[in-house]
Structure 1
Amino acid sequence: MLIRTARFGELEVNEQDLWTMKNPILGFESNRQFVVLPQNDSPFEYYQSIDDEHLTFVLADPFVFFNDYEFSLDQRWMDMLQIGTSEEVSVRVIVTVRSPRDISLNLKAPLVLNTRVKEAAQIILDVPGYMTRHSIVEQPKEEVKNADSFKK
């Protein structure tokens, strides 16, 4: 199958490599089919819409950056995605790049993917502490100005 993309030009993809969003990405409800485009030697990959050649998300495995990331998957999501075992589940999060010093992951709304049936859903977690902007760039510590000075 040949698809057109604004970012990568024309791509040949196999239909069995297409992912169907059972619960769409917020704000992109009309985009239901995607293909994953891995990047060699990178923790990031592209999630290219089949429905809109201009829509590409950058995804990442959140566990690469936050090894303590965890949540429980409600039964309704397991049923919707036909998940039978944990080995069928893969989790990705959307990456936002605002600048080289401002790169963040959306840990609040991960994509849960069933690798067996190629179905996915974006879910919104009700877990304290997870936000839509978790920085993955270590910020330099602010220098304390005049720390050694003393005024009378």
Structure 2
Amino acid sequence: MPLSVRSTRFGEIEVREEDLLEFPEGLPGFPFHRRFFLVGEEGQPIRWLHSAEDGSLALPVADPFLILPTYEAEVCDEDLSPIGPFSPEDLVLLCVLVIPSGDPLSMTANLKAPIVINVKTRKGKQVLVSGDYPIRHPVFGPEARRALAERARGGS
């Protein structure tokens, strides 16, 4: 039987049990929220990691490789033990986005601490990666911001 979640962002959502993701350790800042699900179609550039326990908690997330194609997330295997046994193809990485109200072109992505999901066990964890990645990496570079702003004003 599906779980019904009343989302402040998306209204009433029916979530199948097999679509739930468990975060055994919660997420930083949300340690008591353990069950989440993704809102949005696979392949969309932005999806939402939504709490199954709190209808007001939904984090925008994206594939870090769409934001930075050269991204190399090196994670200690020990850090991933809570999400169960895996092979590399079992893992999906998502980075949390910050979308400033009224200024979506200034959106940033946390590339330092991606969320890793084991698709086999349906468990996830936010981890720190090695490398010099920022917590607030601009999603749109200056040229893209200018072009998108110009288009929004009706230019070509």
Q: TM-score, normalised by structure 1?
A: 0.84
Q: Identify the residue that residue 34 of structure 1 maps to in structure 2.
A: 36
**Compared CA separation, residues 41 and 110, structure 1 to 2 (3 A):** closer
1:74-129: per-residue Cα shift (whole Å, max 9, x none)? 1213322113211100000001111122011000110000001110000123422x
Amino acid at match of 1:79: S
Q: Identify the residue that residue 43 of structure 1 maps to in structure 2.
A: 45
Q: Identify the residue that residue 56 of structure 1 maps to in structure 2.
A: 58
Matching of residue 24 in structure 1 with residue 26 in structure 2: yes
Tell me by how many angstroms 1:3 deviates: 1.3
Does structure 2 retain, via aligned residues, the 8 Å contact 1:91–1:111? yes
Tell me by how many angstroms 1:41 deviates: 6.2
Amino acid at match of 2:9: R
Q: Identify the residue that residue 139 of structure 2 maps to in structure 1.
A: 136
Does structure 2 retain, via aligned residues, the 8 Å contact 1:33–1:50? yes
Amino acid at match of 1:6: T
Tell me by how many angstroms 1:39 deviates: 4.1
Q: Which residues of structure 2 form unaligned runs of 5+?
A: 144-156
C-alpha distance in structure 1 between counterparts of 2:4 and 2:108, whole Å: 32
Give 3-state SS (helix, strand or coil) of 2:89's partner. Answer: helix
Compare the two structures and name the one with the higher strand fraction. 1
Tell me by how many angstroms 1:138 deviates: 1.9
1:36-74: per-residue Cα shift (whole Å, max 9, x none)? 012476311011101111110000000012111112221
Does structure 2 retain, via aligned residues, the 8 Å contact 1:91–1:110? yes
Does structure 2 retain, via aligned residues, the 8 Å contact 1:83–1:89? no
**Compared CA separation, residues 11 and 138, structure 1 to 2 (3 A):** same
Q: Identify the residue that residue 115 of structure 2 maps to in structure 1.
A: 111
Structure 1 stretches (4+) deviating beyond 4 angstroms?
A: none
Q: Identify the residue that residue 150 of structure 1 maps to in structure 2.
A: none
Say what the alpha-carbon RMSD is for the aligned residues: 1.8
C-alpha distance in structure 2 between counterparts of 1:124 and 1:41, whole Å: 24
Compare the two structures and name the one with the higher helix fraction. 2
Give 3-state SS (helix, strand or coil) of 2:18's partner. Answer: helix
**Share of identical aligned residues, percent?**
27
C-alpha distance in structure 2 between counterparts of 1:23 and 1:68, whole Å: 29
Q: TM-score, normalised by structure 2?
A: 0.82
**Compared CA separation, residues 40 and 63, structure 1 to 2 (3 A):** closer
Give 3-state SS (helix, strand or coil) of 1:22's partner. Answer: coil
C-alpha distance in structure 1 between counterparts of 2:44 and 2:20, whole Å: 21
Does structure 2 retain, via aligned residues, the 8 Å contact 1:78–1:84? no
